Chains A and B, each alone.
Chain A
């Protein structure tokens, strides 16, 4: 009598298949662990990674590099950036030249970390940092202001309560 389908496997065949499967399980079980134990253990990111929060940079003399040109906002595909330009006081300038950013905000609920804003920036004022610990409990908290963005990010792993600028 012939039955449709596969022939029923013999016992040894079945046992060997199970053993091979279990071998994989045991091998994986005792392999060294590669998952980072964040936040208990903070692993430094590669030197030149740009995967986290933005930063507004300053010139060496302390003037802001940002000139409030809004090109970052124009480039942003998620409409996450708000810039308002204003006239520099020649006696007491905020940035070199005529124009500076009176207001600068990035909404991290919208930001998709694509980095187009950084590419658009004509003065290298806006760069990405490696600071990826972006967590918030309210909408307001997700919108970073100019003052916050001008600060360097705190070391990774800083308790949210201790984060500078928060």
Chain B
């Protein structure tokens, strides 16, 4: 089999396509649309619906163009030039419609249904079928998110093939045979896949429909815009649909470079947060008991308190590139401080690396890699589309190794090395020396000849990330640093970091400051600023005058809950810029209403470093404004000038700073530059007390996060109440039983949560989800995402208390 391009003729037009191309794809390139149902460009060919008949010269039977690959000199005639193909397609549509209920008026797919469209375009006007139609009970909820209507189903098997080939979550399958064949799920099972929503979108009829969109709108009601998912750094391209000002649906947009045609259920179903009643859309001022005020008043008030004061900025990971750039510039050029941070996890030298290099690993590189090492990342829960790419790579034969404290959902396609959190660095260093369980992985990566990929999640600590980078260099593999939140990478690139200017230049590097001087002036602060924890400590110690919180709630988002509370209590001025106040209401002195992601234009940077444009689907609600505008307004109120008044000007400047060669530090500059983090950056403490376990936590995909507000169906489908996961051996030693409550005690707090036994957990550790209902894990933490914890059965502790 050669890979030479193949030339063939379709409907009299010649075309040259790569070998192995399907006829239906080749025809698409000529603009010839062959009707189809089971065919999907990202699924394997099935040939089930038989709608795409074409005539191939020299072949006695009609062929299905979705299963036959091109051959040199092939002469294909589609329905446009072959009467035989056209008649066969009409006949097939008649077959498909025999048992179709034709309930388009009540069907959610009505108006955007491939079957409806093709019946109209290619089908017979009337059916000759006079017998009774097949009847099923309907609709059947497969999960709280997905409804199944078997009468409408054309049995194309797209949904079951998706679950088999793409997500690997084989919850649904075709049952029975002949005319009784139907999509089914095992009795008592839920379609509990975080990718279930994709089956709805690829269903070519209304057989699978979404509970959140049930009877909500018709295509002609909707205004749509091209967005990018705000939930994680995967950067899924979305279509955001709005009916009468309310966001009613997210759909995945096809982008083979990023998300193929998929998105996860969180991206699809957690869309109601911009319309949450808790949202505040007017500026507020504490002066009058946190009452509405004008933007001018609030900005003036804040500016008065910022000029000449000790100001620090904390933000999260979900603003746009433009917002981060405005913040970075405001802090350095107007306020004159390096005290700003967006991070939850520190990556040490790897941050310089990620801030200065775009796209060292792209999705396509993951897909092509013969060997992949994933460290400190639960891809399915943290960056789900990367998880799908890893699975796709595995289907193509990649050998995947995951180093993580807990077995991940890649378990059926990857080898797992379970390690205690914080132990990653030593494992990786050992592997570089050719020893330990990962030694063979280094060899595989080396054998891949530059095509191997090492992915380090942000949770593997700065030491772990640096060790992963060193390993990638040793093996000659590509290295990717996988941050979690939607625009963490953009914030790094823009220099929302106490030590880094845009593009990864160090603040204490005169050359870096000089390079920025034409745009930023030459009076930039040159001493490294305080990071997230240092800012909170300074605030708690009364060393700050103003704490500016942009899109972050330090009480729940950070592992320093108690410290954050002390910080808020000890800073004179707290300014909150966000969608709502939430827990911060008692503390905020001024509130600046920010526009929601669906209301802003700008760019988002994926974990790869790919900058993607987002378009607003509606204007900012009420008086809310895009963050960069508010920050530019503050600069003006402080007598400064950020140098841009429109988004276009800002984009042009940002483009210059990032792309047009302020230069990036050379590879040699990537040395560990942050000393060992006393809390989380180095090796985790080994528990001295045999009764204690190393408790670690990270947010699961669907939790109580702010952007999942009102996504009730999603939570019903995929969220569990809080739990603590323990290895069965540890559980036996500590007297803990599956399902029974355990009392978890750390130096920061205590909580009672039910136990789950997990034999695929690193022994000696315990896992709690970061923010599932019933437990805010931050209350158990003291500055790091892991902490020694004592676990005992709750009954024992209660008995002890009762006797005491």
Contact = CB atoms under 8 A, between A and B. Distances in A.
A93 interface: no
Contact of B221 (A67, A70, A123): A70
A74 B217 CA distance: 11
Given A69-B110, A98-B139, A74 B105 contact: no
Interface string B157-183: 000000000000000000000000000
Interface string B196-234: 000000000000000000111010110000000000000
B106 interface: yes
Interface string B94-121: 0000000001011000110000000000
B220 A99 contact: no
A153 interface: no
Contacts of B105: 67, 69, 71, 122-123
A67 B214 contact: no
B211 to A, nearest CB: 9
A71 B104 CA distance: 10
A69 B221 contact: no
A85 interface: yes
Contact of A99 (B111, B138, B215, B221): B215
B220 A67 contact: no
Contact of B106 (A73, A74, A97): A97
Interface string A125-148: 000000000000000000000000
Interface in A67-96: 67-71, 73-74, 85-87
A85 B214 CA distance: 8
Interface string B132-145: 00000011000000
B220 A86 contact: no
Contacts of A67: 105-106
A86 B211 CA distance: 11
B254 to A, nearest CB: 26
A74 B215 contact: no
A74 B216 contact: no
User: Which one of A73, A74, A86 has the greatest number of beta carbons of chain B within 10 Å?
Assistant: A74
Contact of A85 (B103, B111, B215, B220): B215
A67 B105 CA distance: 8
A98 B218 CA distance: 16
B215 A68 contact: yes
A85 B111 CA distance: 15
Contacts of B218: 70, 73-74
Interface in A46-86: 67-71, 73-74, 85-86
B105 to A, nearest CB: 4
A129 to B, nearest CB: 23
Interface of B is mostly: loop
Nearest to A67: B106
Nearest to A100: B215
Contacts of B106: 67-69, 85, 97-99
Contacts of A85: 106, 215-216
A53 B430 CA distance: 83
A95 B221 CA distance: 22
A74 B218 CA distance: 9
B220 A74 contact: yes
A86 B220 CA distance: 17
A65 to B, nearest CB: 12
User: Which one of B138, B215, B218 has the greatest number of beta carbons of chain A within 10 Å?
Assistant: B215
A80 B111 CA distance: 20
B215 A87 contact: yes
A27 B94 CA distance: 68
Interface string A96-107: 011100000000
Contacts of B215: 68, 85-87, 98-99
Nearest to B214: A87
Contacts of A86: 215
A69 B216 CA distance: 10
Contacts of A87: 214-215
A71 B116 CA distance: 15
Interface in B616-649: none
B196 to A, nearest CB: 20
A8 B214 CA distance: 84
A9 to B, nearest CB: 68
Nearest to B221: A70
Interface in A98-124: 98-99, 122-123
Contacts of A122: 105
A8 to B, nearest CB: 70
A123 B221 CA distance: 21
Nearest to B138: A98
Contacts of B214: 87
Nearest to A68: B215
A99 B106 CA distance: 6
B140 to A, nearest CB: 12
Interface in B465-498: none
A14 to B, nearest CB: 67
A18 to B, nearest CB: 64
B296 to A, nearest CB: 34
Nearest to B219: A74
A97 B216 CA distance: 16
A98 B220 CA distance: 21
B147 to A, nearest CB: 10
A87 B713 CA distance: 15
A30 B24 CA distance: 80
A74 B220 CA distance: 7
A107 B19 CA distance: 59
A112 B139 CA distance: 38
A87 B213 CA distance: 11
B97 to A, nearest CB: 17
A120 to B, nearest CB: 10
Contacts of A74: 111, 218, 220
User: Which one of A69, A74, A97, A122 has the greatest number of beta carbons of chain B within 10 Å?
Assistant: A69
Contacts of A71: 105
5 contacts: A67-B105, A68-B215, A73-B220, A74-B218, A85-B216
Given A67-B105, A73-B220, A97-B103, 11 more contacts: A69-B105, A70-B218, A71-B105, A73-B221, A85-B215, A87-B214, A98-B106, A98-B138, A98-B215, A99-B215, A122-B105
Interface of A: 67-71, 73-74, 85-87, 97-99, 122-123
The 7 A-B pairs at the shortest CB distance, nearest first, are namely: A85-B215, A69-B105, A99-B106, A122-B105, A70-B218, A99-B215, A67-B106
